């Protein structure tokens, strides 16, 4: 009956739109509910149908509008084909994790925490203070503000055991987000056309940065507890690679965390091949049942290039990260950053430092741990109950995501489309594999908006799997 009502509402709106001007605003959901004596869910289903047909567009916080049909002559950019020639490598388009989903769907695809998981009060106060100070008008040193360099160095140094020399502030280069740091690291340490070892699956942004740097990506299989050291040694030996990119703590997308015994084993392999480990500690602040333990804390000979970001844990609007490197590697990375962006906004650096040095930051982190635990468990239980054919092989001890294995033979792209038509947006797992996917996977984010909808989302996934 609901499907019939949805179809009737969609048909009525199509008739109304034939005489409506392009850009005209549709009646609100409340008005349509009253007019058609239907439920809000039925009205939203009709609106999703019209959106999928390209007839209307939703503007969050404003309303829904008739989509303007442009009949002007299409622009001809054919001349650019000859001017640009073929790219040195095929660059992937932006993955589904970066899509902005409509307000009326269940969004499990994104990679950022929901606003309610951020230290909003601390961020707003920090930005206000930064705007009133000298940072609003000043330029930062190329490597970053000394106070922020000291904070990053102290954070890693506090985990350094006796006998290992901790990093100094001068080892730190502040970045406008870790994504730009990855690009600089790959350009600085791996020559174009040379091999770069990466865990598989791995962060899609690292794959994109490597493609942009023109390096040759070599996947190394990695499971819930990291890569096999023997496989890693074999990959170094066979390829002659000198750089490994990895996420030892709460890896994106799998949530894997290396056991501490693996830290020493991987370091031994890296040192034996005169190579670098690029350690991406993006989820350092997102531990749930464990705490992030950096591999870099056990290295003082320059083999580990350590990357730490505050963008997800403080605010997506404060894109501040840092790379900690020693020796000539640090100088090369800094030179690349200078050519790329010269320096990072003093305003953002001051605000970030303000947030993480407030007493409320530690309070927020304790609360965040419990909120992530609750959300993770809610999504795990919902998937197990309503989508039993979707296998959760590993419940992560931190991070933001569940990595879900689907039945063999599942067409993940079609599944994602079916789910979206039913009101659920998910991220197909193929985007996290640097080569052919090892199987059908999807990544589900439990830190996104509206956790109360997790059971409904899992039910949609289960119905789509059949």
Picking from 357, 385, 416, the residue at the C-terminal end of a domain is: 357
The pLDDT assigned to 154 comes to 96
| Residue 179 sits in the same domain as residue 212 | yes
Residues 183 and 49 in one domain: no
Which of 357, 377, 404 is the endpoint of a domain? 357
Whether 411 is covered by a domain: the verdict is: yes
Percent of the chain exceeding pLDDT 70 equals: 92
Q: Which residue has the tokens 């997790």?
A: 454
- Above 60 in pLDDT, residue 425? yes
Query: What is the pLDDT, as a whole number, of residue 429?
Result: 92
Does one domain contain both 292 and 412? no
pLDDT at 17 over 90: no
pLDDT of residue 456: 94
Confidence (pLDDT) at 72 = 47
In a domain, 74, yes or no: no
Residue 413 DSSP code: H
**93 pLDDT tier (thresholds 50, 70, 90):** low
Q: How confident is the model at residue 310 (pLDDT cuts 50, 70, 90)?
A: very high
Q: Which of 33, 64, 22 is nearest to 9 (CA)?
A: 33
Do 342 and 231 share a domain, yes or no? Answer: yes
**pLDDT(69) > 80:** no
Whether 33 is covered by a domain: the verdict is: yes
Range of the structural domain that residue 60 is part of: 2-66
Identify the weakest region by mean pLDDT among 58-67, 188-197, 343-352, 382-391: 58-67
Label residue 103 by pLDDT band (50, 70, 90). Answer: low
Residue 81's pLDDT band (cuts 50, 70, 90): low
Could you tell me how far CA 160 lies from the centroid of its own chain?
Answer: 28
More confident: 92 or 37: 37
CB 344 within 8 A of CB 174: yes
Pairing of strands 216-223, 226-227: antiparallel
Q: For residue 74, what pLDDT band results from cuts at 50, 70 and 90?
A: low
Beta pairing partners, 174: 322
Window from 230-234, 341-345, 415-419 with minimum mean pLDDT: 341-345
* Residue 217 placed within a domain: yes
Q: Does one domain contain both 350 and 238?
A: yes
CATH of the domain at 16: 1.10.10.10
pLDDT score for 23: 83
Verify that 270 and 222 share a domain, yes or no.
yes
pLDDT above 90: percentage of residues in the chain: 64
Answer whether residue 84 is part of any domain: no
Count up the domains in the chain and report the number: 3
What pTM did the predictor assign?
0.81
Average pLDDT on 38-60 reads 85
Average pLDDT over residues 297-310: 94
Whether 328 and 231 map to the same domain: the answer is yes
CB 374 within 8 A of CB 114: no
If one compares 96 and 119, the residue with the highest pLDDT of the two is: 119
User: Stretch 131-159: mean pLDDT, rounded?
Assistant: 90
- Per-residue pLDDT band at 97 (split at 50, 70, 90): low
The band of 462, judged by pLDDT with boundaries at 50, 70 and 90, is very high
User: Do residues 345 and 377 share a domain?
Assistant: no
Kindly list the strands in the beta sheet with 427-428, ordered across the sheet, starting from the edge strand earlier in the chain.
Answer: 401-405, 441-445, 427-428
- Asked whether residue 275 falls in the same domain as residue 417, the answer is no
Q: Which two tokens stand for residue 327?
A: 């020796």
Residue 371 lies in a domain: yes
Question: Is the domain of 378 the same as that of 434?
Answer: yes
pLDDT bracket for residue 96 (50, 70, 90): low
- What pLDDT shows up at residue 207? 93
What's residue 365's pLDDT? 95
- Identify how many contiguous H helices and E strands the chain contains and give both numbers: 16, 15
CA distance linking residue 325 with residue 189, whole number of Å:
12
Give me the CATH number covering residue 368.
3.90.1150.10
Give domain status of residue 75, yes or no.
no
Backbone angles phi, psi at 65, to 5 degrees: -135, 155
Name the domain boundary from 309, 325, 357: 357
Average pLDDT, the chain: 89
CATH number assigned to the domain comprising residue 161: 3.40.640.10
Same domain, 263 and 174: yes
Backbone angles phi, psi at 64, to 5 degrees: -115, 140
pLDDT of residue 166: 94
The whole-number average pLDDT for the span 4-32 is: 86
| Nearest one of 275, 279, 226 to 255, comparing CA atoms | 226
Is 46 part of any domain?
A: yes
Q: Are residues 187 and 228 in the same domain?
A: yes
Q: Is 104's pLDDT higher than 80?
A: no
In this predicted structure, which of 17-26, 123-132, 296-305, 409-418 has the lowest mean pLDDT?
Answer: 17-26
CA dist., res. 183 & res. 212, Å (int): 8
49 vs 76 pLDDT, higher one: 49
């Amino acid at each position: 009956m609901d499907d019939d009502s949805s179809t009737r509402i969609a048909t009525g709106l199509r008739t109304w739109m034939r005489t409506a001007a392009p850009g005209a605003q549709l009646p609100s959901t409340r008005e349509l509910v009253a007019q058609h004596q239907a439920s809000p869910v039925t009205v939203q289903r009709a609106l999703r149908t019209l959106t999928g047909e390209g007839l209307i567009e939703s503007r969050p916080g404003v309303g829904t509008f008739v989509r303007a049909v442009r009949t002007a002559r299409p622009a001809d950019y054919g001349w650019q084909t000859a001017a640009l020639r073929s790219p040195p490598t095929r660059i992937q388009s932006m993955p589904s994790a970066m899509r902005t989903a409509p307000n009326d769907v269940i969004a499990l695809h994104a990679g950022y925490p929901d606003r309610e998981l951020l230290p909003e009060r601390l961020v707003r106060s920090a930005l206000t203070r930064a705007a009133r100070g000298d940072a609003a008008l000043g330029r930062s040193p190329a490597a970053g503000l000394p106070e922020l360099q000291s904070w990053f160095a102290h954070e890693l140094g506090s985990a350094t055991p006796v006998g290992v020399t901790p990093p100094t502030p001068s080892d730190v280069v502040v970045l406008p987000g870790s994504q730009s740091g990855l690009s600089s690291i790959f350009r600085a340490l791996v020559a174009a056309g040379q091999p770069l070892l990466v865990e598989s699956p791995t962060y899609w942004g690292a794959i994109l940065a490597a493609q942009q740097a023109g390096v040759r990506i070599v996947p190394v299989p990695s499971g819930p507890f990291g890569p096999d050291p023997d496989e890693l040694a074999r990959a170094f030996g066979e390829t002659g690679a000198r750089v490994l990119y990895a996420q030892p703590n709460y890896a994106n997308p799998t949530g894997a965390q290396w056991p501490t015994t693996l830290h020493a084993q991987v370091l031994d392999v890296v040192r034996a091949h005169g190579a670098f480990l690029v350690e991406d500690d993006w989820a350092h602040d997102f531990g749930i049942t464990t705490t992030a333990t950096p591999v870099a804390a056990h290295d003082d000979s320059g083999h580990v290039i350590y990357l730490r970001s505050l963008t997800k844990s403080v605010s997506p609007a404060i894109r501040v990260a840092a790379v900690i490197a020693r020796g000539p590697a640090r100088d090369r990375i800094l030179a690349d950053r200078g050519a790329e962006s010269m320096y990072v906004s003093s305003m953002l650096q001051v605000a970030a430092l303000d947030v993480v040095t407030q007493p409320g930051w530690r309070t927020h982190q304790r609360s965040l741990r419990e909120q992530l635990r609750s959300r993770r468990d809610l999504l795990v239980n919902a998937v197990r109950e309503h989508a039993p054919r979707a296998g959760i092989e590993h419940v992560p001890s931190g991070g933001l995501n569940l990595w879900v294995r689907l039945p063999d033979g599942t067409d993940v792209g079609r599944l994602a489309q079916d789910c979206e038509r039913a009101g659920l947006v998910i991220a197909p797992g193929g985007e996290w594999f640097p080569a052919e996917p090892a199987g059908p996977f999807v990544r589900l984010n439990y830190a996104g908006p509206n956790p109360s909808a997790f059971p409904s989302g899992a039910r949609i996934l289960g119905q789509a799997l059949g």
